[in-house]
Amino acid sequence: MTDQTHDPALQSWVESANEAGTDFPVQNLPYGMFRDSRDGLARLGVAIGTQVLDVTAAFGLKSMKAVMEKPKAERVDLRRRISGFLLTRERGSEGLLTPMAAAELLPPCEIGDYSDFYASIHHATNVGTMFRPDNPLMPNYKWLPVGYHGRASSIVLSGTRVRRPRGQLVDNPAGPPVYGESRRVDYELELGALLGPGNAMGEPIPAEQAASHLFGVCLLNDWSARDIQTWEYQPLGPFLSKSFATSIAPWVVTMEALEPFRCAPEPRPASDPQPLPHLATGGHDAYSITLEVWLRSARMAGPMRLSRGNFSTMYWTLAQMVAHHASNGCPLRPGDLIGSGTVSGPLKENRGCLLEATCRGTEPIELPTGETRRFLEDGDEVILRGWCEAAGARRIGLGECRGVVEAALAP
Ligand code: CA
């Protein structure tokens, strides 16, 4: 439900929040952790224009976890109070602002568990067709959101350099595998969702309540080594091809901020099964979020856009992923992270990873420098961007998630 905090006419006394192109107007209020250079302490902040509001000093909340674990109604109330603070200037309010450019941004929280899904049917079909031309989708795909358990220890904040991994790969299909550096490093454009209140072990989350267990979303890059993946993924799914690094953006846009952009998922074809009752979340729990990938090689002056898609084209919603994840009684906890899976749409320009965009490397992308890319080279920077627009709503953004690929360590 939208409320007064979503009114597109609202203007903050923080003037940079009122500029047309900002990702962080007063209608957004994404949370992030930052370190204050004055006392060196980690604090909870809210992005507002080009500034960070010190929520720890203003509202006494020491961490994002302290907000995540609150019930939905309390999170809605806190949003109203932060909105009010940024709408009406009080004496001394400016003292609680830090320029974002001067703040050291920190990871949102210690990620508990990380699970990654595969919720775009366009991505699953494109990738499935490359590996199994006559059988791209497994029989379970339209019945449950397929996922695997990822690795929380290698989740890094945007801006962290990502080292090219080594692993087992098969250079010569007739010969044995070798242990060497991956030559098929890829990005995956995803949305990450951080969990709010959890469930007790053994108690599934009812489908209609699943959305209230979501805290917020951030941009997520699920770096992938395709050559390692090809060799290892059967029968138990991806493992070391994914766990070398996953980047997340520092700003977590709350589910409350996304309310004006909530929409019905794309209708399923009549021949597809309807979700079973435990995954029937009500049908209005998709989100219209434009998501883009940009690439800048070491020789390029500025980045070039590689793809643009929309999160509303996903076959499964975040709430369905939550309901499915807990449906066996597995406890989810505040600060757990789920990845949506690569966000790809029906068109070639919507393909959210190089594996798809270059058709497994067979159709290289040409860069303005004359360079070509089948997969990522050392020095390449991948930049994810995202934002929401809708009639009658103020545009809000998710900021950026960046990472540069650096050379593998010498063997
Ligand atoms: Ca993924």
pLDDT tens digits for range 182-214: 999 999 999 999 999 999 999 999 999 999 999
47-80 confidence digits (pLDDT tens): 999 999 999 999 999 999 999 999 999 999 999 9
DSSP SS3 for 72: helix
271-323 confidence digits (pLDDT tens): 999 999 999 998 899 999 999 999 999 999 999 999 999 999 999 999 999 99
Task: Determine whether 324 is an active site residue.
Answer: no
CA of 340 relative to ligand 1 center, distance in Å = 7
Q: Which of 6, 122, 123, 213 is catalytic?
A: 123
> Integer distance in angstroms from the first to the last C-alpha of the chain?
55
CA of 405 relative to ligand 1 center, distance in Å = 17
Give CA–CA dist 141/121, Å, rounded: 8
Question: What's the whole-model pTM score?
Answer: 0.97
The pocket of ion ligand 1, defined by CB under 5 A, consists of 116, 188, 222
Of 191, 392, 404, nearest in space to 290 by CA: 191
CA of 210 relative to ligand 1 center, distance in Å = 22
CA of 266 relative to ligand 1 center, distance in Å = 21
The yes-or-no verdict on residue 38 having pLDDT over 80 is: no
CA of 338 relative to ligand 1 center, distance in Å = 10
Kindly give the residue spans of alpha helices, DSSP state H, lying in 114-262.
121-131, 226-232
**Single-letter amino acid code for the residue at 96:** L
Query: Residues of the chain with pLDDT > 70: what percent?
Result: 100
CA of 81 relative to ligand 1 center, distance in Å = 36
Give 285's Cβ-side CA count (13 Å radius): 22
75, containing H or E segment? helix 72-87
Of 51, 57, 1, nearest in space to 26 by CA: 51
pLDDT of residue 235: 93
The yes-or-no verdict on residue 332 having pLDDT over 90 is: yes
CB count in 10 Å sphere of residue 17:
23
Distances (CA, A) of 75 to 70, 79, 305: 6, 6, 35
